[in-house]
């Protein structure tokens, strides 16, 4: 190997037979950070929020400052990184926790403002960006209306919810107007991680495992399980949800979830575990799409494709929190049929987010 070859930066190939659509990419309007600053300045701040956005917004570390610059950009910085990493399109959502830490009135009005800003960026870069609709679960009626406005007026076709809202879970029927609207409008809900709620965080935070390393996955997986076991998909059978980080490990748990769910129902041990129509893993296969955000790991991706089907596993990068060009190169090399790889990188995302397919002219073999 020559010196030049070993020191050249790895760059994803341009002549691949698919577009790369990254589906869990984040942005933050500067106005939201101003609201966050006010929340953080008050006494008795939520410890998870303080540990997450409080950290990114105040840390002098290169990583944190870089992430803040990327988060607030919806133009040249982001497009430059996408070009460098070979990402054709980002599906972009308001970064976690979005409006879910705000008081109800602020959350409702800011979700509209954020959606307008994102729609504007999509209008500037229609071939590069797709937007998700941010909603305030604090006001389910307003959230349902915002889903309709997002679809009908802003041309967006998916919804972002960052797991729990101030410790409350969507398994509570008081939130189900949101599911009704999402089902009626045909908009999948991306259930993205949030920092751990107050009553859960201590034994994760005191060892530094509350964040994306482990806590996020545990809590978001729990949230998905609460939704499944509460019978949400029996009530809203067409509702589709998306979960990242390789399904927050739920595919790997499937066998045990199915066995123990049935055992728990039969033993009548909890009022909250009532019979549901199907096994938990059936809902994973029929009502969830799973993205590879943060997990550029071939074995996990192929295992998940086997468990839920190749039509339900999508590529995601998790920009800017996990901007890693070498991971794109690794994903390109996965041992997988050309058809399945194209589903993973491109066509599943086009179907889920209703992205109009582009003519195949952009990538030509050299």
Cis peptide bond upstream of 320, omega within 30: yes
- What is the spatial distance between Cα 209 and Cα 179, in angstroms, rounded to a whole number? 31
**Buried b / exposed e along 101-133 (16+ C-beta atoms within 10 A):** bbeeebbbebbbebbebbbebbeebeebbbbbb
Residue nearest to ligand 1DF (CB): 212
Residue 241 dihedral angles phi and psi, to the nearest 5°: -125, 160
> Which one of 48, 137, 197, 211 is in contact with ligand 1DF (CB under 6 A)?
211
Q: Which does 39 bind (CB under 5 to 8 A by kind): Mn ion, ligand 1DF, none?
A: none
Q: Which two tokens stand for residue 34?
A: 């101003």
Beta-bridge partners for 192: 162
- Rounded to the nearest whole angstrom, what is the least distance from the CB of residue 104 to ligand 1DF in the complex? 21
What mask of x and - would describe binding to ligand 1DF in positions 128 to 167, judged by CB under 6 A? ----------------------------------------
**Residue (61 or 272) nearer to ligand 1DF, CB:** 61
Task: Please give the size of the binding site for Mn ion, defined by CB under 5 A.
Answer: 2
Largest CA distance in the chain: 68
- Rounded to the nearest whole angstrom, what is the least distance from the CB of residue 189 to Mn ion in the complex? 15
Q: Are 161 and 191 in contact (CB under 8 A)?
A: yes
188 touches ligand 1DF (CB under 6 A): no
Closest CA to 319 of 89, 18, 71: 71
- Rounded to the nearest whole angstrom, what is the least distance from the CB of residue 137 to Mn ion in the complex? 18
Classify burial at 337, counting beta carbons within 10 Å of its beta carbon; exposed 0-12, middle 13-18, buried 19 or more: exposed
What mask of x and - would describe binding to Mn ion in positions 307 to 346, judged by CB under 5 A? -----------x----------------------------
Q: How far is CA 291 from CA 84, 108, 200, in A?
A: 21, 28, 25
- Rounded to the nearest whole angstrom, what is the least distance from the CB of residue 173 to Mn ion in the complex? 27
Restricting to residues 20-79, name those near ligand 1DF by CB under 6 A: 26, 52
Half-sphere exposure of 64 (CA within 13 A, CB side): 11
294 touches ligand 1DF (CB under 6 A): yes
Residue nearest to Mn ion (CB): 318
Q: Which does 21 bind (CB under 5 to 8 A by kind): Mn ion, ligand 1DF, none?
A: none
What mask of x and - would describe binding to Mn ion in positions 20 to 39, judged by CB under 5 A? ----x---------------
Instruction: For CA atoms 167, 169, 175, 178, give the dihedral sign.
Output: positive
SS3 93: strand
- Rounded to the nearest whole angstrom, what is the least distance from the CB of residue 356 to ligand 1DF in the complex? 27
248 touches ligand 1DF (CB under 6 A): no
> Which one of 48, 86, 193, 320 is in contact with ligand 1DF (CB under 6 A)?
193
324 touches ligand 1DF (CB under 6 A): no
Q: Which two tokens stand for residue 254?
A: 């499937």
Binding site for ligand 1DF (CB under 6 A): 26, 52, 95-96, 193, 211-212, 216, 293-294, 318, 321
């Amino acid at each position: 190997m020559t010196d030049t070859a070993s020191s050249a930066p790895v760059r994803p190939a341009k002549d691949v037979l698919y577009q790369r659509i990254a589906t869990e990419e984040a942005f933050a309007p500067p106005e939201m950070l101003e609201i966050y600053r006010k929340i953080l300045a008050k006494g008795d701040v939520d410890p998870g929020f303080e540990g997450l956005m409080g950290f990114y917004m105040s840390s002098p570390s290169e990583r944190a400052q870089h992430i803040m610059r990327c988060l607030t950009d919806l133009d040249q910085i982001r497009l430059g990184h996408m070009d460098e990493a070979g990402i054709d399109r980002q599906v972009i959502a308001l970064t976690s926790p979005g409006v879910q830490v705000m008081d109800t009135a602020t959350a409702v009005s800011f979700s509209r403002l954020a959606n307008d800003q994102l729609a504007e960026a999509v209008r500037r870069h229609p071939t590069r960006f797709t937007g998700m609709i941010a909603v305030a679960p604090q006001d389910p009626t307003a959230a349902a209306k915002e889903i309709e406005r997002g679809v009908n007026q802003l041309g967006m076709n998916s919804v972002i919810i960052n797991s729990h809202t101030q410790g409350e879970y969507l398994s509570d029927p008081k939130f189900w107007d949101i599911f009704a609207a999402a089902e009626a409008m045909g908009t999948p809900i991306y259930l993205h991680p949030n920092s751990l709620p107050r009553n859960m965080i201590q034994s994760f935070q005191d060892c530094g495992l509350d964040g994306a390393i482990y806590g996020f996955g545990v809590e978001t997986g729990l949230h998905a399980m609460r939704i499944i076991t509460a019978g949400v998909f029996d009530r809203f059978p067409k509702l589709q949800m998306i979960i990242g980080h390789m399904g927050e490990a739920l595919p790997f748990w499937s066998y045990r979830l199915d066995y123990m769910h049935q055992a728990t129902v039969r033993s009548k041990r909890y009022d909250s575990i009532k019979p549901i129509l199907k096994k938990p893993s059936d809902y994973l296969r029929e009502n969830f799409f799973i993205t590879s955000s943060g997990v550029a790991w071939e074995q996990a991706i192929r295992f998940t494709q086997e468990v839920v089907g190749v039509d339900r596993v999508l590529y995601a990068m998790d920009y800017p929190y996990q901007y890693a060009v070498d991971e794109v190169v690794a994903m390109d090399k996965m041992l997988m049929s050309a058809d399945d790889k194209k589903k993973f990188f491109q066509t599943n995302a086009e179907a889920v987010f209703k992205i109009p397919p582009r003519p195949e002219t952009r990538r030509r073999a050299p």
